[in-house]
Amino acid sequence: MNTPIVTSRAPITLIGGGAADVSDVHAARALAPRIVAADGGARLALAAGITPEAVIGDFDSLDSESRARLPATALHHSDDQNSTDFDKAMQAIRAPVVLGVGFMGLRVDHQLAAFSTLWRFADRPCVLLGAHEVVTLAPPRIEVATAPGDVVSLFPLGPVRGRSEGLTWPIDGLTLEPSGRIGTSNRATGRLALMVDAPGLLLILPRARLGALMSALSVSAPDPARWPVRA
């Protein structure tokens, strides 16, 4: 699936089948009004009174009742069993930022797979909305309007070095890696600035910072930094 199915100059909300409810959909839609669903995520979109403009996946979790309520032109089936529905959707969307709803919670394996997808599509900024936190893969550099005392967690998916401003415990000169030093449970002292040398660092912020994070990742931000497309 190399040809994009949905292209947008504005952020897109992508709904999955994980832990989320109608209020999450409406919160996301306020920031990313166009709605796409990954497979069974269409059920939540419909429950929120929204017909997604595209539903992408292998349809193994899309129930027949929900499918009957969707226009045939919105259904984009892929039976690739080597990728998740989140993978399939990210591959098919071109947008400045994707806001993922329903990709956290419920099953740990699904959540870990979602984090892997963030890494695999490092060149395509995506924020995952959770019950209490928001998660993204840190771009080469980012500034986010955090408040003193905010919990800021950094979790490396591979070896990463970087610099920081606005953290109680700066990461300057440190190598973060899954089997060594990680950066969870740090605290913001004010506005956060983060610079990293490789794609592979999860940035986890309080859910209250969703708007600030989306703004920081948006193309409307000055000189937005992006990782190159993976070979």
CATH of the domain at 198: 2.60.120.320
Judge if 88 and 115 occupy the same domain. Answer: yes
Q: Does 230 have pLDDT greater than 80?
A: no
pLDDT, tens digit (0-9, with 9 covering 90-100), for 142-159: 999 999 999 999 999 999
Structural domain harbouring 144: 135-206
> Per the structure block, which two tokens stand in for 170?
């700066």
SS3 78: coil
Q: Which of the residue ranges 6-10, 70-74, 115-119, 226-230 would you say has the lowest mean pLDDT? A: 226-230
Judge if 11 and 43 occupy the same domain. Answer: yes
Share the mean pLDDT of the chain.
94
Return the pLDDT at 225. 78
Judge if 108 and 26 occupy the same domain. Answer: yes
Judge if 127 and 150 occupy the same domain. Answer: no
Judge if 57 and 152 occupy the same domain. Answer: no
Return the pLDDT at 222. 52
Q: Are 32 and 12 in contact (CB under 8 A)?
A: yes
Return the pLDDT at 114. 97
CA–CA separation, 58 and 75 (whole Å) = 10
Judge if 94 and 178 occupy the same domain. Answer: no
Return the pLDDT at 203. 98
> Per the structure block, which two tokens stand in for 86?
């989140």
The predicted model gives 62-89 an average pLDDT of 93
How is 83-96 classified by DSSP, letter by letter? S-HHHHHHHHEE-S
Judge if 49 and 157 occupy the same domain. Answer: no
Return the pLDDT at 81. 79
* Residue 214: band (very low, low, confident or very high) from pLDDT cuts 50, 70, 90: very high
Judge if 66 and 170 occupy the same domain. Answer: no
Judge if 44 and 101 occupy the same domain. Answer: yes
Q: Are 42 and 15 in contact (CB under 8 A)?
A: yes
CA–CA separation, 207 and 33 (whole Å) = 18
Last residue of a domain, one of 94, 111, 131: 131
Judge if 153 and 127 occupy the same domain. Answer: no
The reply to whether 225 falls in a domain is no
CATH of the domain at 102: 3.40.50.10240
The reply to whether 226 falls in a domain is no
CA–CA separation, 146 and 189 (whole Å) = 8
Judge if 112 and 20 occupy the same domain. Answer: yes
pLDDT, tens digit (0-9, with 9 covering 90-100), for 165-198: 999 999 999 999 999 999 999 999 999 999 999 9
Axis-axis angle for helices 85-92, 108-120 (nearest 10): 30
Q: Does 220 have pLDDT greater than 80?
A: no
The reply to whether 91 falls in a domain is yes
* Residue 38: band (very low, low, confident or very high) from pLDDT cuts 50, 70, 90: very high
Return the pLDDT at 221. 54
Please tell me which residue, 91 or 221, carries the higher pLDDT value: 91
Return the pLDDT at 218. 87
The reply to whether 216 falls in a domain is no
Judge if 41 and 16 occupy the same domain. Answer: yes
CA–CA separation, 168 and 156 (whole Å) = 18
In the chain, the number of structural domains is 2
The reply to whether 230 falls in a domain is no
CA–CA separation, 202 and 80 (whole Å) = 27
